[in-house]
Amino acid sequence: MTIRTLTCQVETVEDLTPDVFRVVLEGRVEAISHAPGQYLELELHEGTWVPFSIACADNGEGQLELHIQHWPERTHSARLRELLTHRNRLSVRLPSGDCFLPAGGVQPLLLIAAGTGFAQLKAIVEAALAENPERDISIWWAVRERRDLYAESLARQWAQTYSNVHFHAVVEAAETEFEALPGIHWHRGRIDEALAAAFETLTDLEIYIAGSPGMVYACVDTLAPLGLAEHQVHSDVFSYAPRVPFLPLPEGGPAQAPLTPGEAHTTSEQGEASNKGAASKKGEASKKREP
């Protein structure tokens, strides 16, 4: 699709948690068309564009949904909140991104997100179910605390409505207590560890991962021994933070081998720090955008 610049009306701004808010923009139906999983850019200042995942499938209603992480200490975040609260119209540029769900697919979907990476997966789930309500979908959503599951009720609703949809919540905080609820499977710890414990094979799966580079590559490295093929896994991270080699070398993990040509002299301390942050929740600029 050709990237277009247009003006959208700010319809609603709604707090989902103390840290995340939902924004609905309205625009001309034909102008805001996009593929599920793509992102848009908002103009904060003249010449300054900030990317965010589009959190809805293109349904012909002329609306765009965003899930935005608010970081009060960051200039762009504060400026964006101000614009959305006090201005009726914003300049928008879309669509962008090569990580999207193509039409006509039938393979089971494994969707993995950290934090507001759920926004991108939400659009993919909506599109997949609209096209084929019987398509198998496994959703894994990683957060630091239980309260960060800002759309838990929606994900549980999918799982309760469709027997082929399964929702897994992975909460990192050790002190979290889990209650038995319909439509949700609880896991404690890091997302890469939870995936390693749950899967034995990736045969026929189409995989989408939304999160920070550390989180995404931690998941890739965890899934690699299960037969992961580069063509079956998709993430925006692969475009803006590519790693060479893509899959970990057989004799060592990413901390022992160069990940990109510029990291040939990475110290073990840096490698350790990278591993510790692998499953952290996506930050505002982590994905090249905050979905």
Q: What is the pLDDT of residue 262?
A: 32
Q: How far apart are CA 176 and CA 122, in angstroms?
A: 25
pTM: 0.85
Helix (H), strand (E) at residue 240: helix 237-240
Q: How far apart are CA 52 and CA 62, in angstroms?
A: 17
Amino acid at 139: I
Q: How far apart are CA 151 and CA 172, in angstroms?
A: 17
Sequence-ordered list of residues with C-beta below 8 angstroms from that of 50, at least 6 positions apart, any chain: 41, 42, 44, 76, 80, 289, 290
Weakly modelled stretches of the chain, pLDDT under 70:
73-75, 251-291
Q: What is the pLDDT of residue 64?
A: 98
Q: What is the pLDDT of residue 6?
A: 96
Q: What is the pLDDT of residue 279?
A: 39
Q: What is the pLDDT of residue 94?
A: 98
Q: What is the pLDDT of residue 214?
A: 97
43-81: per-residue pLDDT in tens? 988 989 999 999 999 989 999 999 999 877 666 777 788
Q: What is the pLDDT of residue 31?
A: 95
Evaluate whether 268 touches 205 at the Cβ level (below 8 Å).
no
